[in-house]
């Protein structure tokens, strides 16, 4: 199986957020690609689509969703999938991502990425839906490991086994959130390196990095700060196994005004260094990436 399921390495990107529109459109900073939250643009027209079109003039854009609820009590509606398809025609996203989670019940969106039980039944449900969505939309689906704060006593396997088995059985990609691995490992007391070592690396089509808030007893995945060094270390360990893969910084709270050039250059420097060295031995003077 080819690396990234044959999908392109887009380089280093940043989540497209409203406070940066003016700067991005005026300065066109050297960010390799942007990621959008699909649901923010699944509308008929207006300013969001106008801005998206201006961004698309210069940048590759990938679509990331938060409402698929692939493990929920009901599958995503035809209307929702039609909205995704319409937006895909606009962005020409090379893959379509959402989360291993559930977030809706009939008649209500709970607006949170709630964890799934890691069971045979949940594997069966998610695999069937993932296959159907991937076939229906004609794009590679990539599901993301979510951060979590509770787990189900009914789970019969570790999270890494659950996402690996779904990805293999449905033949989908993984959007691998390295910060989420770190957060979940901290909150649940498992080894994040064991998690990374055991997933199907050739299925990782994109990586997420983000900052979080450590409250001591547990970590909240706030996306409100810089990526910490232990997460960079875990990222290094990951791309030693995947090879170069599109990497994106998520920053959603306390957003610095000029995050795009700051993070774009910052991440690019780290990532370029890693690309040069990922097969080489770790030097004594290299404490992080
Ligand atoms: Fe993420």
Q: Enumerate domains of the chain plus CATH numbers.
A: 12-279 (3.20.20.150)
- The CA 241 to ligand 1 mean position distance, Å, reads 19
User: What are the structure tokens assigned to 52, written together?
Assistant: 């998206």
- The CA 286 to ligand 1 mean position distance, Å, reads 27
- The CA 69 to ligand 1 mean position distance, Å, reads 15
- The CA 169 to ligand 1 mean position distance, Å, reads 22
**Between helices 47-56 and 78-91, what is the axis angle to 10°?**
40
Cα separation, 66 vs 94, in Å, equals: 18
Phi and psi for 123 in degrees, rounded to 5? -60, -45
Cα separation, 209 vs 212, in Å, equals: 10
- The CA 84 to ligand 1 mean position distance, Å, reads 19
- The CA 8 to ligand 1 mean position distance, Å, reads 19
The tens-digit pLDDT sequence of the chain (289 residues) is 888 999 999 988 889 999 888 888 998 888 889 999 999 999 998 999 999 999 999 999 999 999 999 999 999 999 999 999 999 999 999 999 999 999 988 888 888 899 999 999 999 999 999 999 999 999 999 999 999 999 999 999 999 999 999 999 999 999 999 999 999 999 999 999 999 999 999 999 999 999 899 999 999 998 887 888 899 899 989 998 999 899 998 987 777 776 655 565 666 676 666 555 444 444 333 333 3
- The CA 173 to ligand 1 mean position distance, Å, reads 14
- The pocket of ion ligand 1, defined by CB under 5 A, consists of 177, 208
- The CA 284 to ligand 1 mean position distance, Å, reads 31
Cα separation, 205 vs 121, in Å, equals: 26
pLDDT of the residue at 258: 66
- The CA 123 to ligand 1 mean position distance, Å, reads 21
Q: Would strands 102-105 and 173-177 be described as parallel, antiparallel, or unpaired? A: unpaired
- The CA 251 to ligand 1 mean position distance, Å, reads 10
Q: Would strands 60-64 and 102-105 be described as parallel, antiparallel, or unpaired? A: unpaired
- The CA 35 to ligand 1 mean position distance, Å, reads 11
Cα separation, 221 vs 223, in Å, equals: 6
């Amino acid at each position: 199986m080819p690396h990234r399921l044959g999908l392109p390495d887009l380089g280093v990107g940043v989540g497209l957020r409203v406070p940066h529109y003016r700067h991005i459109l005026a300065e066109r900073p050297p960010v390799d690609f942007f990621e959008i939250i699909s649901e923010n643009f699944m509308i008929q027209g207006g300013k969001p689509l106008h801005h998206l079109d201006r961004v698309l003039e210069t940048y590759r854009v990938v679509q990331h969703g938060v409402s698929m609820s692939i493990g929920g009590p009901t599958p995503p509606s035809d209307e929702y999938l039609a909205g995704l398809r319409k937006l895909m025609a606009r962005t020409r996203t090379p893959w379509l991502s959402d989360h291993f989670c559930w977030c809706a019940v009939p008649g209500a969106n709970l607006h949170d990425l709630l964890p799934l039980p890691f069971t045979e039944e949940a594997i069966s449900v998610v695999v069937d839906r993932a296959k159907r969505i991937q076939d229906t939309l004609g794009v590679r689906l990539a599901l993301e490991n979510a951060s979590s704060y509770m787990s189900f006593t009914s789970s019969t396997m570790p999270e890494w086994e659950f996402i690996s088995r779904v990805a293999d059985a449905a033949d989908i990609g993984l959007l691998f959130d390295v910060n989420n691995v770190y957060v979940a490992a901290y909150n649940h007391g498992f080894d994040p390196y064991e998690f990374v070592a055991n997933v199907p690396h050739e299925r990782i089509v994109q990586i997420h990095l983000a900052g979080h808030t450590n409250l001591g007893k547990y970590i909240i995945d706030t996306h409100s700060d810089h990526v910490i060094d232990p997460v960079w270390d875990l990222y290094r360990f990951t791309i030693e196994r995947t090879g170069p893969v599109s990497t994106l910084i998520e920053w959603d709270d306390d957003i610095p005004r000029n995050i795009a050039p700051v993070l774009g250059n910052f991440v690019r420097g780290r990532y370029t260094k890693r690309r040069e060295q990922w097969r080489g031995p770790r030097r004594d003077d290299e404490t992080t990436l």
